[in-house]
Amino acid sequence: MRMDDLDFAVERKSEPDATAVIVRGDVDLTTVAQLADELHSATEERRDVVIDLAGVTFIDSTGVRALVEAYRSARQAGLQLSVRGARHWVARVLEVTGVATMLSPQTR
């Protein structure tokens, strides 16, 4: 376990219109399984999901893939999945990969 892994956290919180998945720290190969598990559990609640990335300091391709897979699962279940709060490097990665557009909040 890397020292950075100690700073990683992911939690679910019920909000009025969706289930929020709040992520902090680095999302990479060593932490992505925790994120994927939490996203899977959130979509099983059968509510829209909002992923709060304000506390994420780094995201690699495994993290981006987890977001895309969660989005696809949510869409298949008839749910919306979006991100909010991505900053700096994380926002740039999501923009360059096109994931920011895919995961922007949509109106029904």
| CATH number (domain holding residue 48) | 3.30.750.24
Is residue 108 assigned to a domain? no
Is residue 86 assigned to a domain? yes
Q: What is the pLDDT of residue 107?
A: 47
Q: What distance in Å separates the CA atoms of residue 29 and residue 13, rounded to the nearest whole number?
A: 24
Is residue 64 assigned to a domain? yes
Contact present, 20 and 13 (Cβ < 8 Å) = yes
Count: domains in the chain: 1
Is residue 107 assigned to a domain? no
Is residue 51 assigned to a domain? yes
Is residue 60 assigned to a domain? yes
Higher pLDDT, 105 or 4: 105
- 25 torsion bin: left (phi>0), alpha (psi -120 to 50), beta (else): left
Q: What is the pLDDT of residue 6?
A: 61
Q: What is the pLDDT of residue 5?
A: 52
Is residue 49 assigned to a domain? yes
The pTM of the full predicted model, rounded to 2 decimals, is: 0.90
Domain that holds residue 20: 3-102
Summarised one tens digit per residue, pLDDT across range 4-52 is 456 899 999 999 999 999 999 999 999 999 999 999 999 999 999 999 9
